[in-house]
Amino acid sequence: MADRELEAGCPCANAPQAEPGSRRAMLAASLALAVAPLVPGGAAAADNPRRARPQVGDGLAYMTGEKEGQQITLADLKVGGPPVLAYPMDVSTQTVRDGARTNLLALVKVAPEELPEKLRADAADGVLAFSAICTHYGCPITETHPTGGKLVCNCHGSTFDVLKNGEVVAGPATRRLAHLPLKQAGSALLVAGNFAGPLGPPQQ
């Protein structure tokens, strides 16, 4: 799917239910996404690796915060913790692929024994990577549901079950979040395949 599907923008700053800390994270994510070019892959990606889709073997880098641009390790993620916003990163050149907003990921860790069989092959020690672009209006997803195991978009409350492969459990979104297969290499998290599913909201 081309990034032009996200041109509608994101009214995330209007989310009244966010807690102060969450609101700061959401604002940082929204600002970063606002300046990310909306370009498809192909020739543009070949000319600028920041715009390329995640590549097999890429690491994962923090999107924002004190560790912005640094590689994420397994020890950085806690079971039941909030999602960590990340971009894929070419580990050989340290190039963070933050030039396309549809590369933004939400990383969550669940207890490995809780993972359904169909998700285990795409997880790394319980860590799952989902597109962090809501499939309703393109807002960045920065929250987990208080009951755990679900990602929540602060814009309009769409909720996605991570143990059901990003399935929508509360709208207005109508399609699941795409997931990105991961693998483990020592303490590192690496991309193991392509996005499984379309990214962002349906084309208008």
pLDDT of 192 strictly over 70? yes
Average pLDDT over residues 105-125: 90
Number of domains in the chain: 1
Q: Per the domain annotation, does 164 fall within a domain? A: yes
Q: Per the domain annotation, does 30 fall within a domain? A: yes
pLDDT of 13 strictly over 50? no
Specify the pLDDT at position 28: 52
Q: Per the domain annotation, does 29 fall within a domain? A: yes
Nearest Cα to 151, choosing from 126, 125, 133? 133
CATH of the domain at 75: 2.102.10.10
How many Cβ atoms from other residues are within 10 Å of residue 132's Cβ? 28
C-alpha 76/C-alpha 25 separation (Å) is 17
Domain that holds residue 79: 3-191
pLDDT of 128 strictly over 60? yes
pLDDT of 189 strictly over 90? yes
Q: Per the domain annotation, does 101 fall within a domain? A: yes
